[in-house]
Structure 1
Amino acid sequence: VVMDPFVDLAITICIVLNTLFMAMEHYPMTEQFSSVLSVGNLVFTGIFTAEMVLKIIAMDPYYYVQEGWNIFDGIIVSLSLMELGLANVEGLSVLRSFRLLRVFKLAKSWPTLNMLIKIIGNSVGALGNLTLVLAIIVFIFAVVG
């Protein structure tokens, strides 16, 4: 059931909706709107956790970790669960930004995005020295002010 194309489509729709929910966060938010986004976060985290658990059960843990997208998804789900568990701890809002990486999972069902990610990945290796020089320049300007 978890490997069904309709389940993949439903998960893809959930990824897009989750991204939209994260994009709707702003300052200052009303208490009601903030609670709607919190409930949405809980629902989406529950859906993605259920997908991961069902895939582990269906595929066996050994075969589950053989596929790169499953490892990626498992890391993102684990970080989302960690964020929910540590919701009252200050300064851990950076964990929320890792959920945005789930958008890259769309590359699995979107061939053009998949090709673009592969091209960017290959280019980063070739442009390593240029990237290092650019990072140094940005750092210098950040220090200087």
Structure 2
Amino acid sequence: MYQSIKMNLNALKNNKIFELIVVSVIIISALEIGAKTFQLTDSAVSLTEILDVFITVFFLFELTIRFIGDDDKRSFLKKGWNVFDTLVVMISLIPIDNSEMALLARLVRIFRVLRMISVVPELRILINSLIKALPQLGYVVLLMFIIFYIYAAFGSFMFSQINPKLWGDIAISMLTLFRVMTFEDWTDIQYETMEVYPYSLIFYLTFIFFTAFAFLNMVIGIVVNVMEEEHQAARAEKVEKQPTLIELQQELKEIKALLMAQNK
């Protein structure tokens, strides 16, 4: 009996229509949260309260289905996304009105929108790729900081007399260089220093080459590489879950044997 219920719930969990329904409820939850930021009529407020109860109950129902249908329940809460979903659902059960944790409950309801990531596999792969790429990105960020520091020190020594507001000290110089890297009116800064130091053009061009082009491509390359590894891992896991040809042949033989036994 339990195994039958578990198989049915597992089939429901993996059903595309059910997944679309869950995504639709998450979108409705996002719209309901956004609606509460406006001045609403009493009838609209009542409607949002009803929707809030429905969404919370639905998420609890969906989480229960995933837990019962999971083959390894002991490891259910060892997965990060399951822990996140469980915390969001549990805290969403806290009554908003007349509660000391009302503010926390309201804030957690905002994070229900993030459940879209845990529901859609493609979004999970994107986030997992970014998280796994962080250690490698850390070295790129460190190298970028070194380049920023060197150029900021040089700019502070050379250009502080031209415009102290932009080059007064190394901290302000780094902020100015960040503006240059993002191309936010950087030509105004460049032309101002070129009036005194015409060759300062080399300073800006080399800095932009290192930061905006070289390091940006490094970051993109790392993220794309990790994302490809995540896609390969997801495909391998999907293949492992599918029955092999030998298993299918064995099952067909068993069915054939049962049918022959019944005919006798």
TM over 0.5: yes
Q: State the one-letter code of the partner of 1:30.
A: T
Deviation at 1:105, TM superposition (A): 2.7
Preserved CA contact (<8 Å) 1:65 1:71: yes
Post-superposition offset of 1:123 = 5.2
Say what the alpha-carbon RMSD is for the aligned residues. 3.1
What does residue 77 of structure 1 align with? 89
Query: Which residue pairs with 1:19 in the alignment?
Result: 30
Percent of pairs with identical residues: 20
**Structure 1: unaligned runs, 5 residues or longer:** 134-145
Deviation sequence 1:23-66 (CA, Å, 0-9, x none): 00135322111110000000000100001112222226314223
Structure exhibiting the larger radius of gyration computed from Cα positions: 2
Q: Do the aligned residues in 1 keep the contact of 2:13 with 2:69 (CA within 8 Å)?
A: yes
Quick check: 1:14–1:44 contact (8 Å CA) kept in 2?
A: yes
Q: Deviations over 1:98-145 (max 9, x none)?
A: 2222322323426368526743785598369x9xx9xxxxxxxxxxxx
- In structure 2, the partner of 1:54 is 65
Instruction: Compute the displacement of 1:70 (Å).
Output: 1.5
State the AA in 2 paired with 1:22. I
CA distance in 2, matches of 1:78, 1:36: 22
Q: In structure 2, what is the Cα distance between the partners aligned to 1:2 and 1:93?
A: 32
Q: Find the counterpart in structure 2 of residue 29 from structure 1.
A: 40
Superposition pairs of residues 1-145 of structure 1, within 5 angstroms: 1-59=12-70, 61-82=73-94, 84=95, 87-89=97-99, 92-108=102-118, 109=120, 111=122, 114-115=125-126, 118-119=129-130, 122=133, 126=138
**Greater relative CO, 1 or 2 (CA 8 Å, sep 6+):** 1
CA contact (8 A) 1:55 1:64 kept: no
Residue 105 of structure 1 aligns to which amino acid in structure 2? R
- Cα 1:89–1:69 change in 2 (3 A) is same
- Cα separation, 1, equivalents of 2:124 and 2:74: 28
Most deviating of 71-80 and 56-65: 56-65
Cα distance in structure 1, aligned partners of 2:110 and 2:25: 13
Q: Secondary structure at the match of 1:28?
A: coil
Moved over 4 A (4+): 120-125
Number of equivalent positions: 128
Contact 1:107–1:114 under 8 Å retained in 2: no
Conserved? CA contact 2:88–2:109, under 8 Å: yes
The residue type equivalent to 1:23 in the other structure is G
Q: Is the 8 A contact 1:76 1:99 kept in 2?
A: yes
Cα distance in 1, alignment partners of residues 123 and 99 from structure 2: 39
TM-score in terms of structure 2 length? 0.41
